[in-house]
Amino acid sequence: MKFVHIADMHFDMPFTLLSKNGLAEERRIDQRKAFQKMINYIKENNIDYLLISGDLYEHEYVRKSTIEYINQCFKQIPNTKIYIAPGNHDPYLNNSYYNQYEWNENVHIFTKLEKIEESNNINIYGYGFTNFYSGKLDLPTNLDNSKINLLIMHADLDGASKQIGEYNPILKSVLENTEFDYIALGHIHKNNLDENKKIVYPGSTIAGGFDELGKHGMVVGNIKEDKKKSLEFIVLDDKEFIEKEIDISQIHSKEEIIETINNLEIEENKYYKILFTGTKNIEIDTNELIKYVSKKNIIKLKDKAETEYNIEKIATEQSLKGIFVKELLSQMNNENKEQILESIKLGLNLM
């Protein structure tokens, strides 16, 4: 069986960070481009199944026109069976499009845990969120090992070890001990294909921000009758979020910082966060500086540079900082010197 596995497309998400630069709508168009690339791949390669592991769209923001677009795409691949397991951003609610819209006949949407006997040698299990939160799911046991068994769901892997598990928390150790041949997950926006070929997160189909660095796309798989499988990650997102560092140790004015940023060589198909590193010689207000950045795809500035402090001078001041530094210096000896100096620096940065 040949399949494509995606998750976390988040159609019509607001892309709040990009909206400040007028790029949010452009990013929503990128979602459609990536989705169409996937559809084209499925057509060209005669893919049997499309597995969508939740958060296909944003329930709060999605427009009917977007749902119609998605369904038109599904109509382009009538010979491909499409299985959708709704997640926490697109749960199967009474008023959701999953429930209220007439989807193409090749689409099946899971709600409760369900088993589909797809053919003589394939069983597909799926579970979908019916609310914005989901507790722990009891997984099926005693699978028919003479068949290929797949599980599709949105889940927080190892979320059960956290204090509160709200998004179908599942322990990795539990999944590893199941008899499923492939577990198609969604919810985590980074793909884990290098780590595991049974429990797979494809990651978000396109990146949503700087917490989703790296390449984004889909997993393409083939499981043969003897259960041997091959998996491949294919990039769908033409753009990428990048962090780039600037050492500002030798910069002594805001004008120099702005000039340095505007002279950076950057690629048009990437979004950038600029990180200031080194030691700073001036006070930095990143919200003010970003107004003067000429390159539209430089989205964010973050100050990670350290302030150079004259600790001995501060210790003589009649201020909270002076009292703080003087007290820590009184505790310093040869053994704890580095630790005390680091504590002073951290404390002053917080004041």
Same domain, 103 and 185: yes
Same domain, 216 and 97: yes
Q: How many domains does the chain have?
A: 3
Q: Which of 207, 235, 263 is the last residue of a domain?
A: 235
Same domain, 244 and 229: no
Same domain, 197 and 272: no
The CATH number of the domain where 37 resides is what? 3.60.21.10
Calpha distance 267→265 (Å, rounded): 7
Same domain, 190 and 301: no
| β-strands 240-247, 270-277 pairing | parallel
Same domain, 283 and 137: no
Q: Which two tokens stand for residue 68?
A: 């119609």
Same domain, 130 and 11: yes
Burial class (CB in 10 A: 0-12, 13-18, 19+), 25: exposed
Give yes or no for residue 26 having a pLDDT over 80.
yes
Q: Which of 185, 202, 235 is the last residue of a domain?
A: 235
Same domain, 6 and 136: yes
pLDDT in tens, 170-179: 888 889 999 9
Among 2-6, 16-20, 47-51, 120-124, the minimum mean pLDDT is found in: 16-20
Helix (H) or strand (E) holding 118: strand 114-119
Same domain, 194 and 248: no
Same domain, 138 and 283: no
Q: Which two tokens stand for residue 1?
A: 């069986």
Calpha distance 307→200 (Å, rounded): 43
Same domain, 324 and 285: no
Calpha distance 201→216 (Å, rounded): 11
**pTM of structure:** 0.87
For 277, the domain range is 240-307
Same domain, 194 and 255: no
Given CA atoms 33, 52, 60, 96 in this order, what sign does their dihedral have? positive
For 175-218, the DSSP string reads HHTS--SEEEEES-SS--TTT-SSEE---BSS--STTS-S--EE
pLDDT in tens, 282-328: 889 999 999 999 999 999 999 999 877 778 888 888 889 888 888 88
